[in-house]
Structure 1
Amino acid sequence: MVATGFRRRKVVIPPGGRRCFDEDEWAGALVCVAAGVVELVCSTGEAPRYGRGALLWLTGLPVEFLRNPGDEDVVVYAVSRVSASAG
Structure 2
Amino acid sequence: MPIYAYRCTACGFEDEHIQKMADSPLTECPSCHAASYAKKLTAAGFQLKGSGWYATDFKGGASSGASSASESTGASSAGGACGTGTCGCH
TM-score normalised by L of structure 1: 0.28
Larger relative CO (CA 8 A, sep 6+): 1 or 2?
1
Larger helix proportion of the pair: 2
Larger strand proportion of the pair: 1
TM-score normalised by L of structure 2: 0.28
Task: Name which one, 1 or 2, has greater alpha-carbon Rg.
Answer: 2
